[in-house]
Structure 1
Amino acid sequence: MGESALIVIDMINTYTHEDADQLLPSAAATVPAIVQLIERARRAHVPVIYANDNFGEWRSHHGEIVQAALEGPHADLVRPLAPDEKSLFVIKARHSIFYETPLSYLLAQHHIDHVVLCGQVTEQCVLYSALDAHIRHLDVSIPRDAVAHIHTDLADAALRMMERNMGARVLDTAEVDFGGP
């Protein structure tokens, strides 16, 4: 394994979408693990990349997305893991973090061949992103305690698929090794 990046998927969120009530308990449970991953990645000088939906606001940029989430009804879930000035940010429109985004180019520019995916939703955006990473010959790690779900049974199945069919390492946050201090 070469260089790694931590990718935080769709956690900059107002939680005002259709299935938010089903997602919120799981999202809240993942925040401490994601915060731990972000802190460890930053200490190890591993790029932290936020890949986030723009919620159909095509005139928005990442600062506006972050600000809306911090002013939203669930800012307490966003504030602890908000991007800092060194974080990278990719706006996505569909489920995969790679679909029509510059992420592949960004990873190549940083010589990254291993991605640690965390965020939401396990059975949707995380699953599709892991598949697209696998297709691009990237090593993938998924900390099971740092991914949120809507449906437990589908999330469990998605994690098994990522591990079995895509060769992803499904592990706990404590097992993720970024190297460094």
Structure 2
Amino acid sequence: MGRTALIVIDMLNTYEHEDAQVLVRSVREALPGVKTLLERARAADAPVIYVNDNFGRWRSHHGEILEAALAGPRADLVEPIAPDEESLFVVKARHSAFYETPLAYLLGRLGAERVVLCGQVTEQCVLYSALDAHIRHLDVVVALDAVAHIDADLADAALLMMERNMAAELRPNGDITFGDARSD
């Protein structure tokens, strides 16, 4: 079995969109869990990969995306979980972290066979990323207290679908380890 990689989905956000107010409340609740996962993954020398929308800025790169999020009205939600120098970064344009991105190739090069998903939005990007990980034969873990939602009912349904249809493990972040996949 291979390594476990932490995938941080869409947490570098300017929160200047239609659903931002509702999302911000949920992000505040998920933020401590995301921060703890980042600390534990880094301490275990596990790959940490940020996968983030480019907000339609087609000339952007990860530095510009981070700068825009830190300059936005909710920098307090970005600063505690900002990428460090060792973090990897994949820019995405659609809901799934895998759709037309090099993420699957990167995970293969890293020897990762298990992914831990955290971030936003549970009922959208996390759900579609879990599906695409599953169909690529990756083991999927979703950190229950490190995902944020816009619609709580849809998020609950999405988590149930991930568990039932994609064999995803749903765990609180304290029950997730980042060693060799065999050690869990």
Provide TM-score, normalisation by structure 1: 0.98
The residue type equivalent to 1:40 in the other structure is R
Structure-1 separation of matches of 2:127 and 2:51: 14
Which aligned pairs between 1:18-167 and structure 2 lie closer than 5 A? Answer: 18-167=18-167
Secondary structure of residue in 2 paired with 1:42 = helix
Letter in structure 1 aligned against 2:161:
M
Could you say which residue in structure 1 is the equivalent of 2:13?
13
Unaligned runs of 5+ in 2: none
Amino acid at match of 1:157: A
Distance 2:49 2:165 in 1: 25
Question: 4+ residue runs of structure 1 moved beyond 3 angstroms?
Answer: none
In the TM superposition, residue 2 of structure 1 has moved relative to its aligned partner by 2.2
Partner secondary structure for residue 145 of structure 1: strand
Identical columns (%): 68
Q: Could you state the TM-score of these two structures normalised by the residue count of structure 2?
A: 0.96
Distance (whole Å) between structure 2 residues aligned to residue 177 and residue 83 of structure 1: 20
User: Unmatched 5+ residue regions in structure 1?
Assistant: none
RMSD, aligned α-carbons: 0.9
Q: Structure 1 CA distance, aligned partners of 2:93 and 2:2?
A: 29
In the comparison of the two structures, how many residue pairs are matched? 180
